[in-house]
């Protein structure tokens, strides 16, 4: 069951979608996806919104038409790649996989798809360089000219996990193993704040990510 605070944030996300899809068609928008929990919540919210608001979309556009681009890291976890594949089936969507430099990927995608005008991202306020970001903000100079849409910018860890649990949203199994922020194999470790030491046998284990609700420690597993 969704609590009142989270329900309010979900309503705010849908209100932002109302604005975006009043100004832009579904084919002119894409979701930047990385298989992480934040992007997964955003994907679920987007699919819900599209399915619940068919009158907002013209030319018989539907959730399966949502353009999703998976930006694969340089040394990806197999678990993340596998989860992305699972998302295709669960949400009945196509996911375009791209690897390499983010800026070059976006430039290439936009050059090949001139109709693209906005990118929806799962950025949150505690992410690097997102502290002063606005929900609707043009990309920086030197980047492809897109409207950057950040619907869950002011969600915290508790909100994300509350949504996942209350709505039975699938998520990457690495989060059950103590990872809290997923990069690639070279810069991601299990979060030390979730470490549990068994004093009897010295064996170290890790609690699942949803037990860490301190946003300031979420990226402690990045090196």
Check: CATH 3.40.50.620 for 6-149? Answer: yes
Q: What pLDDT was estimated at residue 165?
A: 97
Q: Is residue 1 pLDDT above 70, yes or no?
A: no
Rg (the chain; Cα; Å): 18
Mean pLDDT of the chain: 94
Q: Is residue 129 pLDDT above 80, yes or no?
A: no
Q: In this predicted model, what pLDDT tens digit does every residue of 62-84 receive, in sequence order?
A: 999 999 999 998 899 999 999 99
Q: Is residue 4 pLDDT above 90, yes or no?
A: no
Q: What pLDDT was estimated at residue 163?
A: 98
Residue 150 in contact with residue 180, Cβ under 8 Å?
no
Q: What pLDDT was estimated at residue 2?
A: 65
Predicted confidence band at 214 (pLDDT cuts at 50, 70, 90)? very high
Q: List the chain domain ranges.
A: 6-149, 171-217
Predicted confidence band at 94 (pLDDT cuts at 50, 70, 90)? very high
Q: Is residue 130 pLDDT above 90, yes or no?
A: no
What is each CA distance from 177 to 15, 84, 113, 162, in whole angstroms?
Answer: 35, 18, 38, 18
């Amino acid at each position: 069951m969704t609590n009142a605070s989270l329900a309010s944030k979900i309503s705010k996300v849908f209100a932002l979608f109302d604005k975006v899809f009043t100004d832009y068609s579904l084919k002119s928008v894409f979701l930047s996806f990385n298989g992480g929990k934040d992007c997964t919540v955003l994907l679920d919210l987007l699919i819900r919104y599209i399915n619940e608001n068919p009158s907002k979309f013209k030319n018989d556009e539907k959730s399966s038409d949502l353009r999703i681009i998976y930006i694969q890291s340089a040394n990806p976890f197999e678990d993340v790649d596998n989860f992305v594949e699972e998302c295709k089936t669960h949400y009945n969507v196509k996911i375009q996989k791209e690897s390499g430099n983010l800026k070059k990927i976006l430039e290439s995608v936009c050059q090949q798809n001139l109709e693209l005008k906005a990118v929806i991202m799962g950025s949150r306020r505690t992410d690097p360089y997102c502290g002063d970001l606005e929900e609707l903000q043009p990309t920086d100079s030197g980047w492809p000219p897109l409207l950057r849409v950040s619907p869950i910018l002011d969600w915290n860890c508790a909100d994300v996990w509350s949504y996942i649990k209350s709505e039975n949203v699938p998520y990457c199994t690495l989060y059950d193993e103590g990872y809290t922020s997923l990069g690639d194999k070279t810069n991601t470790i299990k979060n030390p704040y979730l470490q549990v030491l068994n004093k009897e046998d010295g064996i170290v284990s890790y609690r699942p990510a949803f037990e860490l609700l301190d946003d300031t420690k979420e990226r402690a597993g990045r090196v």
